[in-house]
Structure formats: C-alpha cells, structure tokens
Amino acid sequence: MSTWFYYDNKGQKLGPVSGGQLKGLAKAGMITPETVIETEEGKKAAAGKVKGLTFIAAEQPQPASPRPQAVQPVPPITAPPPPPPPPPPVASDDLWDWSLPESEISSLITASQAPSTPQSPFQPSAPPPPRKAAAPRQHRRGNINTYLVWSIITTLCCFPLLGIPAIIFSVLCGSDLKAGNYDTAAKRSSIAFWCNVIGLALACLQVSIALLLPAIQAAREAAARANVQNAQSNPNVPLPGNRPNPPAPGNNPPQNPFDPPQNPFDPPRTEATPQAGQPPTSPQPPPVPGTPTRLSAYGPIRQLVSAVDRYQRDLGQYPTTSQGLAALYVQPANLPASANWRGPYLAIVFRERMTTDPWGQPIRYASPGKNGRNYDIWSVGPDGIDGNADDVGNWMSLRDL
C-alpha cells in the first residue's frame, strides 16, 4: 500500500497518509489540486497533476447555490444515475507525471505556502496585535516653576495657613530640580500652585466681607436715625417695631388682621386724662430703638438667681453681703477646707455684663434680704437711685415691670 506526504498552506510537511485519508482531507478542504504531494522517495508534484489522484478535484467542497428568487416547478422524480465505475488501478511506476519541470514545482510549493480561503478547523486564529502603551510625559527643567515668590506673598499678605505649605512645596520642588527628579518636581510645583490659588481666593473673600460689613452697619444706623427724626417730627407715626398708641375711647377703628400681635411682656400704655381746667398734654414720642428698658435688666438678674441657688446647694449657705456676687466667680478666702465650692457658677467672660445693669450701674446683692427673703438681687433702675419705684429686683415678676 502506497503512502504519501503533503504540504499545508504554511509549507509544513505532513503525513504519511494513505489514499483513503487523502480523500477525506480533500473533502475537508485541506488538500486542493494545487497542494504539493510527495512520495516516500522524495518526488514532488501537484495533487491535480498526479494521475492516480484525480478524485481530489471531485471531492472539493462546492459552494452553496444561491437561493432562487422564484418558485421553480418541481421536476419529476427519476431514478438516480448509476455511479461511475472506479478508475482502474495504476502501477506505482506510472503514478507520477515526470514531464512537470522543476521550476513549476517550486512555484506550486510557494503558492501552497500562501494562506488559502478554507482553513483547517484545528488552526487557531491569530491574536490581535497588542496596543502600544502611551509614552510617559517627559518633563523638562524649563517648564517647571517653583512659585516660591508667590508663596511668600501668599504667606505675608493673603492667607498664611495655605502660604506656609506652599513655601514648603516650593522649596522641595527646587531641590528636586537640582537633583534631576523632574516628575516629582512637577507634582510638588502643582501642589504649591493650587495652595497659592486657594489662598488668594480666600483672601479676596475676607477683604470683601471686611468691606461689606461696615457698609451694612452704616446703612442700618442711617435708617435708625431717619426713623428717629421722623418720630420726632411726627409723634403720631410709630417707629418700626413699636406698638402705636391706642385710639381714644368710643372711637375704636376696626382692627387690621395683618397687624402683628401685641407682645404680652410690653408694659401697658396708660393715657393721662387731663383734669378740669388744665390744657390737654401733647402725646409723648415713642422710645428710641436701642434704649435700655427695665425688662432688659431683668434677664441678667434671673441668671444670677439661678447661680446663687446652685451655690447654696453645693455649700449649704448663700453668699454673704460682704462676699457679694464675686463669690460666684472666685472661691471666697474665708471658706473652710471642707467646703464644696464648684465654681465658677457663671462664665467669667460675661462677668462684667452679668454684674452690671444696662445703665452702667453695678447690680446689688444682700443676704439676708428684706421681707424674709434669703437674699435680694436688684438694679437701681434708670435713675440710678436706690429704693425708687423703678428698681428691678428678683422679688418682681414680668407683670411688675
């Protein structure tokens, strides 16, 4: 039984194979009439030129016929024709056509090495070419700035909290430039740049606020002065935030539903009725906004009362008159060692505000107090005279003010 070798499309010699195997390879499309065949003795020729392998051309896969556009009539069923008789066996000496020149054999081998349309199912597809990585950015000394001068200006004139880190990164950037570390120098230069930009923005914001606040305060003061002048020129026009005078009895106009409700802590307004034989008095202008009232002195007194009660719970006694309200802030020197003083009982930063009334007079303290009270805390009032009706003390309620 004769065996053969064949060359694939890459020029690789495969085999040996028998005649039946050549037929199967021809059906698979792996052997074509142009494929170079070699015998065991080393003789080469194209498969289509070999007399004993004419069946290879018949075994080639035929392309599928195009789909007909119109429906064709079905032909009558006939018996299939008989198969052709097999070719007669040929002696091994007459198998090759030795009239094929050597130059044509070489061209067939070269053509068989080129990729053909039908490929082997066992041949893997070629992988895609790898992507080229982006080249890293090359930094040079000329395009890197340290921003050292800008960082110093930011520290001295704009925002020191960001200017100091900017100076540090600027100095480190200069050191990296001298050492030739341009990548690290570029990163530190960028950090210094953004520190300076943010510091400049915050400085501009501070300047804007500093310029706007005095302007707003001046506008508010001018509006308050204008309201006071209008009230003095026309007493019947109330100031903003003050309740107008009540109408005369018997002439009550309908109440406006959009008027603000009356404050229950405002002192009641009383109209003085002129006696017989006296001319009627002109209405008094409303108080100027910002003027201290007795109600503004009552709040600090109530906080002092709460602090004195806490002092009594810790030590079992109230501060004496000689110790005064200072015992709430500083431990008295004459207390025994076993005393449980847990002060200060009020914030020291507000000591002056809590111990002084709105008119600048010190708030008084006495223990024991009058009328059986444990202690008295009071302000001498707007007139600055103790014992008058305008005094404000801890024995009063909001209705008494």
Taking only the tens of pLDDT, the chain with its 401 residues reads 577 788 887 778 887 887 777 777 777 777 787 788 887 777 887 777 776 666 666 666 555 555 656 666 667 777 778 887 776 655 444 444 545 556 666 666 666 555 555 555 555 566 777 776 655 555 555 678 889 999 999 998 888 888 899 999 999 999 988 888 888 999 999 999 999 999 999 999 988 998 888 889 888 888 877 876 776 666 555 544 444 445 555 545 555 555 555 555 555 544 445 555 555 554 545 555 567 788 888 888 988 999 999 999 999 889 999 989 988 888 888 888 778 888 888 887 777 778 888 888 899 999 988 888 999 999 998 888 888 888 999 988 878 77
Residues recorded for the chain: 401
Residue in the structure block whose two tokens are 């009725």: 273
Report the predicted TM-score, pTM, of the whole model to 2 decimal places: 0.31
**126-130 long-range contacts, Cβ below 8 Å, gap at least 24?**
none
Residue 272: predicted pLDDT: 47
Instruction: Tell me the HSE value of 304 on the side-chain side, using a 13 A CA sphere.
Output: 32
Exposure string (b/e) for 167-202, b if CB count within 10 Å is 16 or more?
bebbebbbebbeeeebebbbbbbebbbebbebbbee
Three-class HEC string of the chain: CCCEEEECCCCCEEEEECHHHHHHHHHCCCCCCCCEEECCCCCEEEHHHCHHHCHHHHCCCCCCCCCCCCCCCCCCCCCCCCCCCCCCCCCHHHCCCCCCCHHHHHHHHHHHHCCCCCCCCCCCCCCCCCCCCCCCCCCCHHHCCCCHHHHHHHHHHHCHHHHHHHHHHHHHHHHHHHHCCHHHHHHHHHHHHHHHHHHHHHHHHHHHHHHHHHHHHHHHHHHHHHHHHHHHHCCCCCCCCCCCCCCCCCCCCCCCCCCCCCCCCCCCCCCCCCCCCCCCCCCCCCCCCCCCCHHHHHHHHHHHHHHHHHHHHHHCCCCCCCCHHHHHCCCCCCCCCCCCCCCCCCCHHHHHHHCECCCCCECEEECCCCCCCCCEEEECCCCCCCCCCCCEECCCCHHHC
Query: How much is the pLDDT for 86?
Result: 73
For tokens 């302007």, the residue is: 215
| 38 touches 7 (CB < 8 A) | yes
Q: Distance of alpha carbon 1 from its chain centroid, rounded?
A: 83
CB 189 within 8 A of CB 173: yes
* pLDDT computed for residue 61 by the predictor: 59
Two tokens, residue 283: 């209405």
Alpha-carbon distance of 187 to 190, in angstroms, equals 5
pLDDT of amino acid 375: 93
What's the pLDDT score for residue 263? 55
Q: Which structural domains are found in the chain, ordered by start?
A: 1-60+92-118 (3.30.1490), 143-222 (no CATH), 294-400 (3.30.700.10)
Burial status of residue 359 (CB atoms within 10 A of its CB: 0-12, 13-18, 19 or more): middle
> From residue 302, how far is each of 65, 110, 161 by CA, in Å?
109, 113, 43
| Token couple for 132 | 């080229």
- Signed CA dihedral, 42, 46, 50, 55: sign only: positive
- Strands of 376-379's sheet in order across: 364-366, 376-379, 392-393
Q: How far is residue 307's CA from residue 330's CA, in Å, rounded to a whole number?
A: 13
